[in-house]
Structure 1
Amino acid sequence: MKLIFSTISLLALASLSTAAKVNGKPCTPGEEYCGYDLWRTGGYGAYFNAELRANGLGAKDDDVHWTVFECVEDSDIKFITHCGNHKCKPWKKSEYELGGHCTGSS
């Protein structure tokens, strides 16, 4: 009985961690995204803070939203550039995937 409970518990934890990665951090490695598109998916708060601060920006919503990030391995993100207010524009790559780019300098 104890072995069955332990096995079930481990399987439940494994499925939760997989679901969190798929649902919380769905970016595609090598693709670029506007911060506000990643923000809406959740799961990136600590990544935003670290990347923005490392590049001389604050972690205010405007800094996050109008910045282009590249998705890297394991759905982590890397700062590319800060576009400025309302200058990061998404472009639709497919029905489920957005990319991002700046429409002007900051």
Structure 2
Amino acid sequence: MAKKSLIQREKKRQKLEQKYHLIRQSLKKKIRSKIYPLSLSEKTKMREKLQSLPRNSAPTRLHRRCFLTGRPRANYRDFGLSGHVLREMVYECLLPGATRSSW
């Protein structure tokens, strides 16, 4: 089980990312615009605005965590679970359609 403080920190990052998503997206779109090209000074102003946003609002700072344990590594996107939890659930026949391998 992951520390509760780390899980809460991740939830806070998700809220910040959602809050600033449209602002970040519009600034990036203006910087890359080829229809209305900006001068170099205007682009630097846009980049400064982009950098002035909180760091934790960037989508690259988000981690996918296990739904049950909060573990940040070895997560399967389809299930939202970490590898060892997924394996235990397959062994207990809690996931329909998933088969365990044996050799």
State the TM bucket, normalised to the shorter chain.
under 0.3
Q: Which has the higher helix share?
A: 2
Q: Which of the two has higher C-alpha Rg?
A: 2
